[in-house]
Structure 1
Amino acid sequence: MTSLKYLRGYPASLQDQVAQMIAGDRLGDYLERRYPGRHEVQSDKALYGYAMALKQEHLRNAPAPDKVIYDNKLDVVHKALGLNTAISRVQGGKLKAKKEIRVASLFKDAAPEFLQMILVHELAHLKERDHSKAFYQLCEHMLPGYHQLEFDLRIYLTWREL
């Protein structure tokens, strides 16, 4: 049986259900039924615009990221689907911090709900740095059903690995 490494933190009953779907070769059908579409956000410019629209809708007072891009170097092996970084650079005589959000390139071909979930997660880090209770409450506020989407994303990653 396949290791369910993306689902390790979930109850055994859920892991068993996913394992049964894998054994019955039904995992892909489940994902296709729940998430049939693919998004149109293919360029870094479109991704930035999409992220800024989400930020403006939910986090008006949070600082805006300077850059939002797809990153080919991010992948699930490094346990990073998205990154939120602050890079300090010297410009003239001043030190400036640039905030960047990087999204793994595998989400170019994913369902729009998964891309939205990743961006909501990274944007929430603009207000809450740690994965605390307040962080996940903010994610749920920005995207109702966030926890179900995160679980389904983990199923998607398991399916991709098969």
Structure 2
Amino acid sequence: MLTLRYLAHYSTSLQAQIRQLIAEDRLGEYVQRRYPGRHQVQSDRALYDYAIGLKQQYLRSAPNLDKVLYDNRLDLTHRALGLHTAISRVQGGKLKAKKEIRVAALFKEAAPEFLNMIVVHELAHLREAEHNKAFYQLCEHMLPGYHQLEFDLRVYLTWRDLAA
């Protein structure tokens, strides 16, 4: 039986539906039909502007972002599609924390909905550090249908792995 590593925590009935699509060689068709477009956010500057726009819309009181960029070193082997970090540095007599978001470079070629989901996820970490109920409520507030998009992203990653 095919192991669905991105979908392991979902119900067996959902996994069976995905296995059926794989067996019928229709998984790619499913993903491409639901998410046919590709976004135009190709540069680090455009990604920064995109993230700042979402932050201003939903998280005005959250700490400022110092850097948002695509990272070629993030990949699925590290189980990271995006990272949020706070790098502390001493400047003069003060300790300054620089907030950064890094998005896996594979999202340069993804549907706009998937990029939006990853950026929303990482922005939510500015308020909630842990993946708890409040975190997912914030994600759902910023992006209605967040949970469905997360599932579909996992299906997309499964399809991507099978195609490779």
TM-score bin, normalised by smaller chain: over 0.9
Aligned partner of 1:116 in structure 2 is 116
Aligned length: 162
TM-score (norm 2): 0.97
CA distance, structure 1, for counterparts of residue 51 and residue 86 of structure 2: 17
**Match runs of 1:1-162 below 5 Å:** 1-162=1-162
Q: Hey, what's the Cα distance between the residues in 2 that align with 1:65 and 1:129?
A: 15
Instruction: Measure how far apart 1:93 and its partner are.
Output: 2.7
> Which consecutive segments of 4 or more residues in structure 1 shift more than 2 A?
none
Deviations 1:18-64 (A, max 9, x none): 00000111000001110000000000000000000001111111112
State the alpha-carbon separation in 1 of the partners of residues 29 and 58 from structure 2.
33
For 2:129 and 2:38, how far apart are their aligned partners in 1?
30
For 1:67 and 1:80, the matched residues in 2 are separated by 18
Aligned-partner Cα distance in 1 for 2:113–2:28: 16
Aligned equivalents of 2:151 and 2:27: distance in 1?
A: 13
Distance in 2, matches of 1:9 and 1:144, equals: 21
Amino acid at match of 2:158: T
Identity, % of aligned positions: 75
Q: Which runs of 5+ in 2 are unaligned?
A: none
Alpha-carbon separation, structure 2, partners of 1:93 and 1:142: 37
Distance (whole Å) between structure 1 residues aligned to residue 42 and residue 126 of structure 2? 23
TM-score normalised by length of structure 1: 0.98
Q: Which moved more, 1:56-65 or 1:114-123?
A: 56-65
SS of 1:2's partner is coil
User: What SS class does the counterpart of residue 85 from structure 1 fall into?
Assistant: strand
Question: 1:41 and 1:130 mapped to 2: Cα distance?
Answer: 28
